[in-house]
Chain A
């Protein structure tokens, strides 16, 4: 059923591996409202996979299904070849899936550094008591994790705000801090919910650069939701297009661009 062995090579020569996550016939309902209707697609290792669509198309719901926050009424989610049972979000996080949010969800009163450190929670095992007296394992862990976090700070070029409380940062930087926290978890799949929303052109370009660099440097598989067509087409390897909860297109940016259903959804068609 899963052709996990197969991969492909992108235009710029990156090797994309087998399927890491497959969504099969997903249907998600909220009471009488059908948010997602019978959607199937897969995410392959090392690729940048985008989910796009107009407002209310069901993109965020889809992302929430991937992240395990919503359990679909119908359909299955396969992760690394295994059928994933309904899970709590923290269980999904343990499996190596990290995400950012459309409306930034950081701890405003904490410094950038501490916020990113929270992303390392999976890597810390020392108990409460050991943490409190900060000896032995707790100390060692803290040093190791701080080092990992510092590498991410360096990577995302946010050294200058390391000790600044997040609440005082402008929007574009908060988004970057959120990405840093997600990266700190060393995820195998990174989910980005509208990483470019509300940004100006320059901030968008910076963010695109970082997303590409993350994918390139750490080989992280990235699934992102985005509104801005231009950005998505430049960034992603394959794109799923949704409209009114249905999948209306799936393929490389070029294929999607020339897909009539997609053009209609974005530009609108005359209804008689």
Chain B
């Protein structure tokens, strides 16, 4: 085993790393946040003071060792400080998804038994007040943005700055206590508890120790040569393990600067202003950006469009090879450099990727064409495969060995094995401790030797040693004739089209495959505008005959491409419909990290699924929807069911009749 049981140089916790950074990198920027139109900055030394004041305030408020402290808000330095301050006083931070509805929050708050919560604004305060009566252990709430909260009862409600001031005032009273608590932290202390998004069932609380986080951060930082001069933009949900590793784990290990955007809507501008050197995003973000670029190019003048198309074609041809350092002819290099000057460079700058040295995509499979687009621009985008339970890293792609169909080689310090059924197992220093209050699941997932089941099916490619993930092990099924059914693979092919936002493919235990499709309102809306097609809502646009026609063409193109793959030719989509509503996490159809919940969808739209298989041409349906504020309503629509052409394939699996 490569697990080191003792931390190097006594740096056994995040608060210990903070102390080191505050002396070693005292005047270097640790955090920036854009507020009031200006990037407000904090050096490591200032950060340490802020966190210390907050931690003292926490002690003053009565936070004890072992308490759970919920953190609910968008990426702001205050919440990162809160997490480290909570660790400093021996408590366990539990970041939650801030867009979760009140009852989802109630489950998690009750499950971990948090006594304290640090929240962003009135919206979150209201949610917690709503569920407070059912939370017996819940006591105090601390908020950052005072707006609209003036009239609230402040017995158990505190301002963030107020807590810091109280902490500073009580410095001499509690500083010894704080130091003692901080020193008690070891490599085995709990660093953070993160709830899994739960594609199936209730979320599980994944307990990660300091060892998990620090070891994972350390080895991954070394793998990509991350250093104190790197810049990241923190915009992913704080409740997600990825953000914790990048914005706390790696940031505290290497000392790089974490930049927080002004608001969710200004992300793109802020990205451009900061120009991060290290960037991380789920495939969806890259898809959206590519869609936006394509939409804008559609609107551009003819010469610009020609220039773009011409140079992008060249980039696709030689860009990835140049990035990987493979031999490329002199003329091609020259032309690429020219393209870089006129097209790729300005485009990268607009996207905010001008300085990116290392970029990662993970969470879901990325469409190969999307991946290639960014690589061909010269952006070093790589894939990694990870899980909350692994402190992110299971496999990563080393520089120069990047491919779109694999997820790379085992990350440093990670052992991987694949069992007979094809499921991937791993073991590493980052492997989680246990699921909180859920021994049964812990046992099921993690065996006594430390091997953890990923729930994904995959195999190692011969020769290269790269891991290829086929699908979620439980999603991979069999069609009625016994051939393999891999829905994700087909869905990803569909989702590559900018017009298709989401797709859910069915076919398990069935004769043929069918699909539900969500159109992308931005892309299709732009197309509608250019073609003078009026529409009032998503629903109306989704049901437009010409939209259905376009989607049908896309589906048929996917069918043609599937037909070329002997393994999956039978997974062609025979019939599909465009859903009358967008799949939404508020309705439970997706997880907060935007993965589709296949089971929930099949159950909820049972009537639609039935219609896909009984040959009917249209169906009337009513669906309940939940609005952002938790109110419910319903929408109804008559949906057209479209038959798509399939390419006939011989069924090689026809084993001697009968």
A9 smallest CB distance to B (angstroms): 12
Q: Are B36 and A151 in contact (CB under 8 A)?
A: yes
Task: State whether the Cβ of B474 lies closer than 8 Å to any Cβ in chain A.
Answer: no
Task: Report the separation of the CA atoms of residues A213 and B150 in the bound assembly, to the nearest whole angstrom.
Answer: 10
Query: Which of A12, A147, A150, A160 sits near B269, CB closer than 8 Å?
Result: A160
Task: Decide: A150 and B263 in contact? CB cutoff 8 A.
Answer: no
Closest to A13 in B: B151
Q: Does A14 interact with chain B (Cβ within 8 Å)?
A: yes
Q: Is A146 an interface residue (CB 8 A)?
A: yes
Give the distance to chain A from B293, nearest Cβ to Cβ, in Å.
19
Is A144 close to B, CB under 8 A?
Answer: no
A153 proximal to B (CB < 8 A) = yes
Contact B266 A160, beta carbon cutoff 8 Å: yes
- B36's partner among A14, A147, A213 (CB-CB below 8 A) is A147
The answer to the question of A155 belonging to the interface, with a C-beta cut-off of 8 Å to chain B, is yes
Proximity string of chain A (196-232) to chain B, C-beta cutoff 8 Å, 1 when within and 0 when not? 0000000000000100110011000000000000000
Contacts A159-B265, A160-B266 given; does A154 touch B151 at CB 8 Å: no
Within 8 A of A (CB), among B258-295: 262-263, 265-266, 269
Q: Which residue of A lies closest to B148 (CB)?
A: A213
Residue A257, interface by CB 8 Å = no
For residue B262, which residues in chain A have a CB less than 8 angstroms away from its CB? 159-160
Q: Is the CB of A14 within 8 A of B265?
A: no
Q: Does B37 contact A (CB under 8 A)?
A: yes
Closest CB in chain B relative to A201 CB, distance in Å:
11
How far is it, in angstroms, between the C-alpha of A198 and the C-alpha of B445 when the chains are bound?
Answer: 56
CB pair A157 B151 closer than 8 Å? no
- Does the CB pair A160–B36 fall under 8 Å? no
Chain A residues whose C-beta falls within 8 Å of the C-beta of B36 in the assembled complex: 147, 150-151, 153-154
Docked complex Cα distance between A162 and B37 (Å): 9
Known: A14-B151, A159-B263. A153 touches B269 (CB 8 A): no
Indicate if the CB atoms of A146 and B37 lie closer than 8 Å. yes
Q: Which chain A residues in 129-162 approach chain B with CB under 8 Å?
A: 146-147, 150-151, 153-155, 157, 159-160, 162
B35 adjacent to chain A (CB < 8 Å):
yes
Q: How far is the CB of B628 from chain A (nearest CB, A)?
A: 9
Interface contact A216-B263, CB-CB below 8 Å: no
A174 CA / B558 CA spacing, docked (Å): 43
Report the bound CA distance from A209 to B147 in whole Å: 11
Neighbouring A residues of B35 by C-beta, 8 Å? 154
Contacts of B150 in A (CB 8 A): 216-217
Residues of B within 8 A of A13 (CB): 151
Do B265 and A213 touch (CB < 8 A)? Answer: no
Q: Are B37 and A160 in contact (CB under 8 A)?
A: no
Given known pairs A150-B36, A151-B36, A153-B37, the reply for A160 and B147 (CB within 8 Å) is: no
Find chain B residues with CB under 8 A from A147 CB.
36
Q: How many inter-chain residue pairs (CB < 8 Å) link A and B?
A: 36
Judging by beta carbons under 8 Å apart, are A12 and B265 in contact?
no
Interface size on A, as a range, is 10 to 19
The majority secondary structure among interface residues of chain B is loop
B151 and A213: CB pair below 8 A?
no
When the two chains form their complex, are residues B37 and A150 in contact, meaning their CB atoms are under 8 A apart? yes
C-alpha spacing A161/B269, complex, angstroms = 10
Please give the distance in Å from B514's CB to the nearest CB on chain A: 34
Q: Which residues of B contact A154 (CB under 8 A)?
A: 35-36
Q: How many Å from the CB of A257 to the closest CB on chain B?
A: 24
Chain B, range 7-50, C-beta contacts under 8 Å to A: 35-38
Query: Which residues on B sit within 8 Å (CB–CB) of A151?
Result: 36
Q: Is A160 a contact partner of B263 (Cβ separation < 8 A)? A: yes
**Residues on B with beta carbons closer than 8 Å to the beta carbon of A159:** 37, 262-263, 265-266
CB distance from B228 to the nearest CB of A (A): 29
Minimal beta-carbon separation of A141 from chain B (angstroms): 17
Q: Mark A160-197, 1 if CB is under 8 A from B, else 0.
A: 10100000000000000000000000000000000000
| A138 vs B23: C-alpha distance when bound (angstroms) | 41
Q: List A contacts of B263 (CB < 8 A).
A: 157, 159-160
Complex: chain B residue closest to A150, CB-CB: B36
Shortest beta-carbon distance, B652 to chain A, in Å? Answer: 54
User: CA separation between A160 and B272, bound complex, in Å?
Assistant: 13
Q: Which of A153, A157, A159 has the most CB of B within 10 A?
A: A159
Most buried by B among A151, A154, A155, A213: A154
- B585 CB to closest chain A CB (Å) equals 19
Least CB separation from A209: chain B residue? B148
Kindly identify, within residues 107 to 153 of chain B, every residue whose CB is under 8 Å from any CB belonging to chain A: 147-148, 150-151
User: Is A160 a contact partner of B265 (Cβ separation < 8 A)?
Assistant: yes
* Minimal Cβ-Cβ distance residue in A for B35: A154
Q: For the complex, give the distance between the alpha carbons of A257 and B147 in Å.
A: 31
**B contact residues around A209 at 8 Å (CB):** 148
Q: What's the minimum C-beta distance from B259 to chain A, rounded to whole angstroms?
A: 15
Nearest CB in chain B to that of A14: its residue = B151
Smallest Cβ-Cβ distance to B38: which chain A residue: A150
Chain B residues closer than 8 Å to A157, beta-carbon distance: 263
Of chain A, the residue at the smallest CB distance from B36 is A150
A151's nearest neighbour on chain B, judged by CB, is: B36
Shortest distance between the CB of B436 and any CB in chain A (Å) = 36
A147 to B38, CA, bound (A): 10
Which parts of B132-185 form the interface with A (CB within 8 Å)?
147-148, 150-151
CB contacts (< 8 Å) of B148 on chain A: these are 209, 212-213, 216-217
Distance (Å) between the CB of B250 and the closest chain A CB?
28
Residue of B37, B148, B262 most packed against chain A (CB within 10 A): B37
Which B residues contact A (CB, under 8 angstroms)? 35-38, 147-148, 150-151, 262-263, 265-266, 269
| New contact pairs (9) apart from A12-B151, A155-B147, A213-B148, CB-CB < 8 Å | A147-B36, A153-B36, A153-B37, A157-B263, A159-B37, A160-B266, A212-B148, A213-B147, A216-B151
Q: Supply 15 A–B pairs (Cβ within 8 Å), ascending by A.
A: A147-B36, A150-B38, A153-B37, A154-B35, A154-B36, A157-B263, A159-B266, A160-B262, A160-B263, A160-B266, A162-B37, A213-B147, A213-B148, A216-B150, A217-B147
Listed from nearest, the 9 A-B pairs whose CB atoms lie closest are: A160-B265, A150-B36, A150-B37, A160-B266, A159-B262, A159-B266, A159-B263, A213-B148, A154-B36
